[in-house]
Amino acid sequence: MIRPCLASDGAATRMIQIYDTTLRDGAQREGVSLSCDDKLRLARRLDELGVSFIEGGWPGSNPKDAEFFTRARELPWKHALIAAFGATCRAGGSPEDDANLQALLASGAPVCTVVGKTWTLHVKDVLRTSLEENLKIIECSLAYLRASGRRVIYDAEHFFDGYRADPQYALATLQAAMRGGAETLVLCDTNGGSLPWQVGEIVRTVKGAVKHPLGVHTHNDSDCAVANAVIAVHEGAVHVQGTINGYGERCGNANLCSVIPALELKLGIRCLPDGQLRTLTEVSHFVAEVANLAPDEHLPYVGKSAFAHKGGIHVAAMRRSDVSYQHVDPAFVGGQMRVVVSELSGRGNLLFKAEEVGLALGGGADVAGVLEEIKALEAKGFSFEAAEASVALMMKRQEPDYRPPFELIDFLVNVEHRTGRGIFSEAMVKVRVDGEVLHTAAEGDGPVDALDAALRKALKPRYPQVDELHLTDYKVRILDSSHGTGATTRVLVDTHCSGTTWSTVGASSNIIEASWLALRDAIEYGLTLAEVNR
C-alpha cells in the first residue's frame, strides 16, 4: 500500500492555506449559475472539508452575492473564514468614495481579497492611468480596508505576464500591497499561459526579493494550472487558490481536487484537517451535483475512472500487488479501485469482476470461453465496460450446474395508432419457467415498457420478488449512423433493488431485440442475485 509522504515523526512537514474560490471564479464557468442557496450549501460543505478560506463572491457586482454575505454572517463556520472579493479603487479616486470598497466593508466578511494590476500593459491600456497612480491605488485601497479592521489578501492579477514584461514594476506592485497591509501576496497566472518551470523560477525569485507570505492563483488555459500551483508551493508559496473540480472561466482554474492530494500525499504538506482528505471524492461529486453538471469521470484522484483498470496485463498485475498500477491508495481520497471488462480484458478482469459483484464461480466456469465471447460480442457492437451484470451472467452461464430462472421461447411486440387513443403498445412473451411454458401479454407506454411488463407478468407467480426490481435508466446509442435506420443500436439498462444497482447491455440492428437482451439480463441477474443472497 502506498503511504502519504510525511515527515519522519509522522506529521506533515508544512501546512498551507487552501483558498477556495468555487463560489466566485468557479461560477464564472460557462453553463454554471449558482443561486444564493446553492452557494450557501457549497460553502457549508467546503467548511466541513476544512479549507482555510471560502471566497463567497464579489458583493459590489450583483445582489445575489450581497445576499450571500448577509446570510453567511448568521451562520457558524467551523474551519473557514469567509472572504469577499473586490478590486482596488478607481484611478484618481479615493477609497472612502469607492462603491466597490464600501461594498466589501458592508459585506461584513472578515477577509477582503483585493485584485490589482501588475502588468504594465493593463495599467496603461486597460486602466489608462500612470504606473505611479496604480501603485498609489493599490496601497491606499488595502490600507483603507486594514484600517477598517479587515484582514486583506492581495491578488496580483496577471503577475507572471507582468513580471516577464517588467520585473521591477511587478515587484513594485507587491511592495505597494505590503505597505498597504496585505497579509498574503497572491501571484496570479490570470491568462493561464505560464509553464511550470517559468512559475517555479519566478516564485523562487519573488520569494527572495519580498520576504513576505506568497500565494498562487493559476488558470488552466495551457493545461498546467495544477502543476503550476504545486511547483509554486514547492518553491515556497504558503497559500493556494483554486476551485473544486477545476471549475472556472474559459478552461478553468487549478483543480483543488488534484492540488490538495498532490501536496498531502506527494509532498507531505498538510492542507486539510485530519481525516478530511478521505472525503474529497464525495465533495467533488457534491459540488458537481449542486452546479448541475455531470461529474467528470476522468478527473485525477476523484473521477470514477481514476483507479479503473481495463488492460488485461494491468489487472493481472493488480491482483498480485495493488501498487503495481496505482500511484496512491484510492481510499486516501475516498475512491475505490475498479476493474473494467472489454475486448482488452484478460482472465484476471473476469475473475475480479465476478468477485466484485458477489457471484462465486464454480470450478467448471470456462473463463477463457467467456473472454472470447466478450471479444466477439464487442466486435458486433456490445460494450461491457458499464455492464458488469451482463458479464457476471455470462460467467455464471458457463457453469455446468447453472440453470437460468427463465428461458425465452418467443416474443411479439405491436405498436399501433388507434383513433381516439393515439399510440398504443402491446407485447406478448412466451417463456419457460421450471419446465412450464408461460404465455402472457401486457400493455405499456412504449414497446420496451410493454415487453418489460409482459415478462414480469409471466415471472411473478414463480418469482414474486420481480416486483422489487426497478428499471431506473434506459440509454440508447446508435453505433454506425452511416447505415441509417439499419444501424446497430446499443441499449444499456440500469436496474435497482434493495440498495444495489446493476447495468446490463444489449446490441442489435433491431432496437427491440437490443432492448430485450438488456432487459433479460437485468431481470435474470436480479433473480440470481436474490437467490445467492437468500
pLDDT at site 18:
98
Q: Extract the C-alpha cell encoding 309.
A: 483498470
Which residue segments constitute the domains of the chain, with CATH numbers given? 15-290 (3.20.20.70), 308-396 (no CATH), 407-533 (3.30.160.270)
pLDDT at site 368:
61
Strands 338-339, 308-309: parallel, antiparallel or unpaired by DSSP? parallel
Measured at the CA of 91, the angle between CA 85 and CA 93, to 5 degrees, comes to 90
Report, as ranges of residue numbers, the positions in the chain whose pLDDT lies below 50: 1-2, 6-12, 342-346, 363-364
pLDDT at site 508:
82
Q: What is the pTM of this model?
A: 0.73
pLDDT digits over 478-514, tens only?
Answer: 766 666 666 778 888 888 888 788 888 888 888 888 8
pLDDT at site 327:
83
pLDDT at site 193:
96
Give SS3 for 464. Answer: helix
Query: Which residues are 492's β-sheet partners?
Result: 475, 505
CB 242 within 8 A of CB 253: yes
pLDDT digits over 156-194, tens only?
Answer: 999 999 999 999 999 999 999 999 999 999 999 999 999
From the number of C-beta atoms within 10 Å of its C-beta (0-12, 13-18, 19+), residue 533 rates as exposed
Residues 6 or more apart from 410 whose CB is under 8 A from it? 428, 429, 430
Cα(117)–Cα(126) distance, rounded to whole angstroms?
Answer: 9
pLDDT at site 145:
97
Give SS3 for 370. Answer: helix
DSSP letter assigned to residue 246: G
Cα(27)–Cα(43) distance, rounded to whole angstroms?
Answer: 13
